[in-house]
Structure 1
Amino acid sequence: MTDTDSTSFPCARYIKEIGRGPNGARALSRDDTYALYEAILDGRVSELELGAVLLAYRVKGETAAELAAMLSAAHRSFEPLHVQEGREHARPVSIPSYNGARKQPNLTPLLALMLAREGVPVLVHGVTDDPGRVTSAEIFAELGIPHAASHDEIEDSLASRRLAFAPIASLSPKLARLLSIRRIMGVRNSTHTLVKILQPFAEPGLRLVNYTHPEYRESLTGLFTEHSDAAQGGALLARGTEGEAVADTRRQVQVDWFHDGQMQTLISPEHSQPHAPHVEMPESLDAATTARWIESVMRGDVPVPPAVARQVEVIAEVVRKPVEASDNQPKPN
């Protein structure tokens, strides 16, 4: 745990509410949720109670209000990043990368590089390794893009190359500690959702948010439409590609833009077609092969997958709009 008194925040009354099972559990108030998650981040909860809380939320699930409270506490756990706008006043983009690839090539680094080439400052944050998966961190290393080891290195990389990869331990050690508990307990916890919706910038920046299970789409929609503080800077929400925020090269999924308390569908879903044009992809999933393929795409030797090209166009258009630009919204495709 930490050097603080681990028994200084008793959790019995919270566990009593959230730990009654899928049918009897009740949501905590926003204030109680904030106080509980803040104590967890600070290491003021005993290991026994921490395990009970994490499992209770694993079974119950988080409401939009609970997610908003946890996110607020998470944001206070690290120093926000100051990033200068890119070309044509492009606001920065945050891309979470916590899943990696297991069945398809991980093209998150390609998306980041293409956005940076368009003059958009891009922060990719995530884990450095995940057994059985190919992480963005491993691919960035093969591309010669170093992992930022501190807050200052993150800001320096964004200023110099408009691109940074930050291990979550560099961005927020407290959140990294809670993520690591998965390897002890064997299951994910609320923090795995929170790191995918972080707003890491001091100025309003756009977040790419993805979901795998439909119930998370519902809770995230509620979060971004009902809680203005959680939606600051806006978010693009789409079904993930193996949990990554990059577009799926096999099909076009729906992309929704949340801003100013509104939701606008920018890209409508398309079903995969049996006779769709072939999309050239890396021959292997490993980091080295994927990195060499990405380099060939960036040189123009290999065509950009259409779904990724379309994603880049939409993101680049959104980040060049003023934050509160209801009258000048990107046209849906």
Structure 2
Amino acid sequence: MNLVTPPEHPFAQFVRILGKGKRGARNMTREEARDALGMLLDGKVEDTQLGAFLMLLRHKEENAEELAGFTEAFRLRNPAPAIAVDLDWPSYAGKKRHLPWYLLAAKALADSGVRILLHGGGAHTAGRLYTEQLLELLDIPLCQDWEQVAVALDEHQLAFIPLGAWAPQLQRMIDLRNTLGLRSPIHSLARILNPLGARCGLQSIFHPGYQAEHREASRLLGDHAIVIKGEGGEIEVNPDAACHLYGTLDGEAWDEEWPALSALRHVKPDRLDAGRLVDVWRGESGDDYGQLAVIATMALALRGLGLEREQAFGEARRRWSERKTSD
């Protein structure tokens, strides 16, 4: 009786690299990561392999070489459209302790002529307030393709596009969060992709140690980026704490420490009232924490566009004061 051994699936090698026990498992090389995500994007992987791969990678924690390889695989299949953008602004975490003041920072910067692309992956975790839920309230254009993004940037200097509109395969992986019980590394990857090749990519990585890995991945890719541990995981400077900037420009890494702006920690609100964002934008009410967060986040973005810290803060205050508070 002749028994034929079934051939191994080509993707099995990548699951084995990550899952071969404490002594056998290892990191993927940049090239292996590029090939692995390439197969995922091309639909050449079984669902069981996808789940195993994402969770093994989540358990191991992705490194800079892997992030760079993943990004290269995505960019190879999704070349950036010719749309000029100053800042790539990923928004994937949602807020639960404080309001999303970063949105007012983005609006004020756009109002002053900075072209900003916002993108996010949907409301995947209960109890959080996401950018997507506030677009209409804050008059931020929602776009469903790059053509709409180009129009919105020309007319408003600000556009939001859902991840599912430009990377549906990655959105599907993010949506597995409630099936697998854990967020996958795709949440981190989406922050580094910079789909339009913006002058500077801003990234917020909440978990300690990941900031340096993301900065190194951007450096390997030759991108200009600033990575911070943003409040709640979003690109928002917490004025009650020191903020470390992990930057990279022209292949060189740099670091900068910004001191806290407030001597005392502010009390977080009892509930998140999104209408307060509109009131503060219009100047109809004040919020000490919120306005400090807005100014510091604007300064961070301007630092990414080449201004030094003191100049960035001065420009942030000026641009905030000169924002158009009504249509």
When the two structures are superposed, what TM-score results if normalisation uses the length of structure 1?
0.81
8 Å CA contact 1:15–1:52 kept in 2: the answer is yes
One of 153, 157, 174 as aligned partner of 2:152:
157
8 Å CA contact 1:8–1:44 kept in 2: the answer is no
Structure 2 residue ranges without an equivalent (≥5) = 1-6, 312-327
Work out whether 1:247 is the aligned partner of 2:237.
yes
Shift in alpha-carbon separation, 1:78–1:243, aligned structure 2, 3 A: same
8 Å CA contact 1:238–1:255 kept in 2: the answer is yes
Match of 1:211 in 2: 205
Q: Distance in 1 between matches of 2:22 and 2:259?
A: 32
Work out whether 1:115 is the aligned partner of 2:109.
yes
Match of 1:175 in 2: 170
Report how far residue 135 of structure 1 moved.
0.4
Match of 2:193 in 1: 198
Q: Which moved more, 1:265-274 or 1:116-125?
A: 265-274
What's the RMSD between the two structures over aligned residues? 2.8
The percent of aligned pairs where both chains have the same amino acid is 26
AA aligned opposite 1:37: L
Match of 2:319 in 1: none
Q: Distance in 2 between matches of 1:23 and 1:212?
A: 29
Work out whether 1:262 is the aligned partner of 2:252.
yes
Work out whether 1:311 is the aligned partner of 2:314.
no
Q: Distance in 1 between matches of 2:212 and 2:68?
A: 14
Q: Distance in 1 between matches of 2:151 and 2:76?
A: 22
AA aligned opposite 2:47: E
Q: Distance in 1 between matches of 2:138 and 2:297?
A: 22
Report how far residue 212 of structure 1 moved.
1.2
Shift in alpha-carbon separation, 1:296–1:332, aligned structure 2, 3 A: closer
8 Å CA contact 1:211–1:240 kept in 2: the answer is yes
- Give matches, 1:1-333, under 5 Å: 10-21=10-21, 24-84=24-84, 92-130=86-124, 131-202=126-197, 204-225=198-219, 227=220, 230-232=221-223, 234-270=224-260, 273-274=263-264, 284-287=271-274, 289-297=275-283, 305-319=291-305, 321=306, 330=308
Q: Distance in 2 between matches of 1:134 and 1:80?
A: 29
**Which SS does the other structure have where 1:255 is aligned?**
strand
Shift in alpha-carbon separation, 1:176–1:8, aligned structure 2, 3 A: farther
8 Å CA contact 1:140–1:291 kept in 2: the answer is no
Q: Distance in 1 between matches of 2:9 and 2:106?
A: 41
Q: Number of paired residues?
A: 303
Shift in alpha-carbon separation, 1:110–1:188, aligned structure 2, 3 A: same
**Which SS does the other structure have where 1:147 is aligned?**
coil
8 Å CA contact 1:127–1:167 kept in 2: the answer is yes
**Which SS does the other structure have where 1:137 is aligned?**
helix
Structure 1 residue ranges without an equivalent (≥5) = 1-6, 85-90, 322-328
**Which SS does the other structure have where 2:254 is aligned?**
strand
Shift in alpha-carbon separation, 1:257–1:293, aligned structure 2, 3 A: farther
* Deviation per residue, 1:131-150 (Å, 9 max, x gap): 32110111112123331111
Shift in alpha-carbon separation, 1:317–1:31, aligned structure 2, 3 A: closer
Q: Distance in 2 between matches of 1:77 and 1:283?
A: 45
Report how far residue 317 of structure 1 moved.
4.8
Shift in alpha-carbon separation, 1:314–1:307, aligned structure 2, 3 A: same
AA aligned opposite 1:330: E
Report how far residue 265 of structure 1 moved.
2.9
**Which SS does the other structure have where 1:305 is aligned?**
helix
